[in-house]
Amino acid sequence: MPRIVVLGAGPAGCSAGYHLAKSGHQVTLIDKATFPRDKICGDGISFESVQALFTLGIYPQDIKCLAQYAPVCGLRLGVSNGNEHMQTTQLEGYCIPRFELDNLLYQHAVEAGCIPQTQTITDLARSHPDLYHDYDHIIDARGVYAGEANAIAIRAYWSVKVEDFPEPYCSKAHIYFDPKLGVNGYGWLFPVTVKDGLIKLNVGVILWLDEYQKLNTNIIRLFDQFVQKNETTKALLSKLVSQQKPRAYPLTTAKRDNRVSDGKVLKIGDAANLTDPLTGEGIANALLSGLQVAQAINMSVMPAAAAENWQRLYQIHFEPDFQAGLWLKSLRKSFLANQLLISLMKRNHWVAERVMYAVAGLIPYSEFVPSLRY
């Protein structure tokens, strides 16, 4: 059996470790921190992410045992202080703080048979040549700092009294386009949990670096401008029971001509730039890349073939949707495109539903535009 090490125990690394251990491999799972540990994130678990969790034996009943989580059953999409549309669904996604989610995934990976270690791994080739000697496969799941950052986000946690947050909004993912965030950037407000009469909210903004660099300002100022201008967040400011200082973090969204393997090193999740190029959501692709890289190793007769097979599986399962997403992103030349999208959703229930499911990952971007013809 090949010797396997997984670097990083976030969603991608735990997924790879889980599936490989379940396949009978001896897997060393290394992370720089002990669990449970927090990670800055939007905390959204899309419908596609929920399905991906099933592959690790994690089901809704497991999620509902967590100390912090909130069901998400729809989308409120709008322009700050302007046009908006709210779409509901019988499907259920979630918002789960990474402190909770990553610890749950880590426990499943260790219970599956992964051997846990705590160590900081930086420059692989230069600082850790022993890994190349000791292992046949090095699965790089070290996250955004091992990938190529091309977006930036910032989030804060707010708490308000339940009665101060309208009930219809409590189970919706709120996404707002704002011209100050560029054509593709947006702000969000996600419910995290309801406890002791308080609702905890994840509030943030995301921008792509090519647009952010043209704005000649910083991400904290843009966050402040968004929450003070947006009608929903502005109304909450005077009702806050508590708030945490906003924290910024980079993202590695999809890019063209992507290589996910290099000799023994097989990149997955954020380390491989597998985050959605339109929404910035990365959990689903992280989990699924862990499954697919395990398949690549399991299907390879010789260890040397695993890298080629993982690159091939990436091109089959991920690349078409990423290319379609990047193409859709390129079509949004002006902020008017966002306003037209929302207006179209308000007039046509079918379009509104398709948009919501595309955002949630249930409809691939490669099928999204053709599906609107029917």
Task: Assess whether the region 4-43+97-148+253-323 and the region 72-93+151-251+334-364 belong to the same CATH fold.
Answer: no
CA–CA separation, 255 and 368 (whole Å):
19
Q: Tell me the pLDDT band of 303, cut-offs 50, 70 and 90.
A: confident
| Listed range (18-27, 263-272, 333-342) with the worst mean pLDDT | 333-342
Q: Residue 125 — pLDDT band, cuts 50, 70, 90? A: confident
pLDDT, position 368? 83
- Average pLDDT in the 336-363 region? 91
Contacts of 80 (CB under 8 A, 6+ apart): 176, 177, 178, 187, 226, 229, 230, 231
Domain with residues 4-43+97-148+253-323, CATH architecture: 3-Layer(bba) Sandwich (3.50)
Provide mean pLDDT across the span 342-369. Answer: 90
- Residues contacting 255, CB < 8 A, separation 6+: 148, 150, 273, 326
Q: What percent of the chain has pLDDT over 90?
A: 86
Kindly report the average pLDDT of the chain as a whole number. 94
Tell me the domain boundaries of the chain: 4-43+97-148+253-323, 72-93+151-251+334-364
State the pTM of this model: 0.95
Per-residue pLDDT tens digits for 198-230: 999 999 999 999 999 999 899 999 999 999 999
Does the domain spanning 72-93+151-251+334-364 belong to CATH 3.30.9?
yes
Q: Are residues 250 and 122 in contact, defined by beta-carbon separation less than 8 angstroms? A: no
